[in-house]
Structure 1
Amino acid sequence: MTTHLLLGQTLAFTGDPFSRPWEDCVEHHESGGVLVRDGRIEAVGDGNALQAANPGVPVANYGRDLILPGFVDAHMHYPQTGIIASWGKRLIDWLNTYTFPEEMRFRDPAYAAEVAGRTLDLALAHGTTTLCSFCTIHPESVDAFFEAAQAREMRVVAGKTCMDRDTAPEGLRDTARAAHDESAALIARWHGRGRATYAITPRFSPTSTPAQLEALGALWAGNPTCLMQTHLSEQVDEVAWVRGLYPEARDYLDTYESHGLLGARGLYGHSIHLEPREIDRLREVGAAVVHCPTSNTFIGSGLFDLAGLKGRGIPVGLATDTGGGSFFSMLRTMAAAYEVAQLRGQAIHPAQLLWLATEASARALHLDGTIGSLRPGADADLVVLDLASTPAVAQRAKRAEDLWQAVFPTIMMGDDRAIRATWVAGRPMARPA
């Protein structure tokens, strides 16, 4: 058995800080401890008491650093790692100029493996322990991602991106039959194996024919424990494009719903420009939307209504959307979520931001209780934050009168230098050279 005791400040959530007063949803130990045994959290509480009760257990003493659940990135594109921060105009222009040419390279298994490993190492360096990623149309890209995660013992979600409409370039199109059969083979190979979860993945309605969406809907019906991930209402011109391609649909969401691709285990990235019916249906089925604030501002998509959607009871995850998002860091993503909310007249508390990046995203992925929480029984995927990682952060945190005044500067100004340590499945991960 492998056992470790981590000492430091600890912060755990006991509820959703959007649905209850945040003060009632947090449990903070100033001199806390997390006992980890065989890859899982065994106990959380007073550090001195845990140390006294477990003599001889190896101790990692992080002093005043803050121990949290590892960050959970609920929507990203690992094949876009190499083109992150590329100048572009709007979504379609950006896809055609950068994304699609890069994704064609992933038919090469060696290239896919190289980028998958690099992506996961960058995520770990930024304190992210779980990624939910789109791959490319190539099954080799899916194998590469899951294999790289398996080598690091990371819990991940991913799927083959499916596109069969001529709006996608030649070389990045499959067929309705290939989308179904190749995805089915990948599900059989990876879903539920170790720490892997499969997500059936139509890129979005503009790049799939109705026949492909129907085939993937049938696949999901036959594999109901899989997730389904796609994009929804990211930009106003995209919504208009969908309306022209699917004139019979009531709205954008209906292009999925009418083909069996709306359900509780669905993940709908962006979801900015939603119609009232779409909001009602997402709430009724319990589907999750994923907030991608750095991407939404970088590509000029719009301002996500975080408070409004949470107020309607819709589950919301948080994500970098690499590489449309211009940061690998979930800290920077939290900062962007705060800034976007401010533009909508919504002040998001630091407790709510941290919850979004951990337990809320885990809930969106239907992995709550397994990841994203600092509770006994959860996987020991952890991040340790240095709350004085740079001179600028340190001078501000020095004036803090409580935990939140100490944490907020790291959320707003922190980067990978704020990551003191990342633990995956109960093991400390080495930082990439």
Structure 2
Amino acid sequence: MSSIRLRLFVILALASTVVWSLAAGWVYVRTQHEVERVLDARLIEASRMVSSLLSSGDVARVPSDAAALASATSRTSYARQLSCQIWSLDGALIGRSDGAPGSRLTTAATGFSETVIDGERWRVYAVENREAGVRVLVGDNLGMRDHLVQSVIAGLIAPAGLGLLAMAGLIWMSVGRGLAPIRSVTRAIAARDADDLTPVMTPEAADELKPFTDALNGLIGRLDAARQRESQFISAAAHELRTPLAGLRVQAQIAAAAKDKTVRDGALAQMTESVDRTARLVSQLLEMSRSEALSSTLEERRWIPLADLWPDLIKRAGDHPGIAIHRPGPLSLHAQPHPLSVILGNLLSNAATYAESRVEVRLEADGHLTRLIVEDDGPGVGFSDLTSLGHRFFRAANARPGGNGLGLSIAQACARAQGWRMDYARSALGGLRVDLIMPVTDVRAEV
């Protein structure tokens, strides 16, 4: 059942039906109880009335009168519901009402009793009149009693059924009116242009929709920010590519026009350098694109010993004569292999590029977090530039030529995909300190 309106209608209709059914059951039980109480009172009243008439007159003349009275009493209600018999105390039938059974209604001397005569159930009240020497029996046909209760309930069922139908219609219309704000928001979103990333307004008197529209507006905001980053990325990438390509064109023109071999060889060397720089930039742009598309479902995370990864990390860091890279003690990290290699490789490459003599990698515990610290003894980064580190194409004021400002941003994107984060600070060694912050559950010290 995919329709919210239909689901709500069914739930409310079922709840209403259950409530009405319980009410009908309660009415049935109460009606049956009240009918029995009233009819029992009528039995007592009729029997005592006949007994009092017998006491006030001649017993010889009373039977026909008493029978007529009982018969008249029965005719005021359902046919054959109320029957009267008058018996002498010695067991002789003196008289009975029209339609009363010929068999004795009850053998009880006084009070209420129930009996079955010719397959019919009777409730009988007996009154003994010693003064007149008779016993008056007045009986009620229980089948007629049940019919009376069923008639009362049947009279209630028709209005109840109509009420349920009317309530179902009202529920259907009410649910439709209640869901109108959702349709309003749906139409507003459907009518939007693809470039319209303004927040969605919540309809008035629709507080329940506010969490939905807030979440949707949050998604729209993130999408807008992603589009802005994409636009900035394309602009910066185009700018970065234009510089080496322009230099490459100039050097090609110089080489083509040069008649001196030395000038031509120098121009060709510059062309080779420009090509290498462009290839490195393209490679980093591809790495950046891949890092931003990383998802924990794309590649299985596993425990990776740092010792197994270290040769590849040194290779990624590049050849820097005179720079010693000190790795931490034996440990394993729970991560995806490729992103982990990119993170540590870029951090080591950046540190080795600016270090004077050494790069240190160490581990520090910080409560429920663990910090893998990479720091160097280079010139470091100014405090004003620390907050901008990790932004794409950002290069610090004292950055060395040849870089593109993508290494740290790629490492940061890969770390974010692993659920980690990176902090930047001044190192006690004098250079830059980068903290790769991970949960303690992602780090395991090897023995």
TM-score range, shorter chain: under 0.3
Structure with greater proportional strand content: 1
Structure 1-normalised TM-score? 0.21
* Higher Rg: 2
> Bigger relative contact order, structure 1 or 2, given CA contacts below 8 A and separation 6+?
1
In terms of fraction of residues, the more helix-rich structure is: 2
